[in-house]
């Protein structure tokens, strides 16, 4: 996308210009989240892989957006995004 701009070819007395617009490729899931089971009090890790590194990820439980806390930890390395849920309880299902 950063290559989008106006380019020109200059031959001294004349110039030709063209505008290049680069459309970003859509981000897709290369690996989707998988169902997990965990024992109460343990930790669980949910992982997905995206087609583009550095893509912002928003983690949700149902319709509720999750925020980093003692309970939830988010990690993102390249194309892999992880949600770690600590001390799982039945309400976390």
The verdict on residue 79 lying in a domain is: yes
The verdict on residue 7 lying in a domain is: no
Q: Are strands 5-10 and 60-61 parallel, antiparallel or unpaired?
A: unpaired
The verdict on residue 15 lying in a domain is: no
pLDDT in tens, 3-54: 999 999 999 999 999 999 999 889 999 999 999 999 999 999 999 999 999 8
pLDDT in tens, 57-84: 999 999 999 999 999 999 999 999 999 9
Burial 42-80 (b: 16+ CB within 10 A, else e): eeeeeebebeeeeeeeebeeeeeeeeeeeeeeeeeeebe
CA-to-CA separations, 7 to 3, 23, 40, 41, 67, in angstroms, rounded:
10, 17, 60, 60, 44
The verdict on residue 80 lying in a domain is: yes
The verdict on residue 90 lying in a domain is: no
> Residue 65: its pLDDT value, please?
97
The verdict on residue 11 lying in a domain is: no
Q: How many domains is the chain partitioned into structurally?
A: 1
d(CA 90, CA 84): 16
Range of the domain at 81: 29-85
The verdict on residue 24 lying in a domain is: no
Q: Taking the CB of residue 86, how many other CB atoms lie within 10 A of it?
A: 14
Q: Provide the CATH number for the domain around residue 49.
A: 2.60.40.10
The verdict on residue 22 lying in a domain is: no
Bridge partners, residue 44, by sequence: 85
């Amino acid at each position: 996308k950063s290559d989008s701009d106006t380019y020109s070819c200059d031959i001294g007395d004349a110039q030709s210009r063209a505008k290049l617009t680069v459309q970003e490729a859509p981000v897709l899931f290369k690996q989707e989240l998988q169902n997990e089971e965990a024992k109460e009090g343990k930790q669980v890790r949910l992982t997905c892989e995206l087609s583009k590194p550095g893509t912002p990820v928003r983690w949700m439980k149902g319709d509720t957006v999750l925020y980093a806390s003692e309970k939830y930890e988010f990690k993102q390395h390249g194309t892999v995004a992880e949600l770690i849920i600590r001390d799982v309880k039945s309400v976390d299902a």
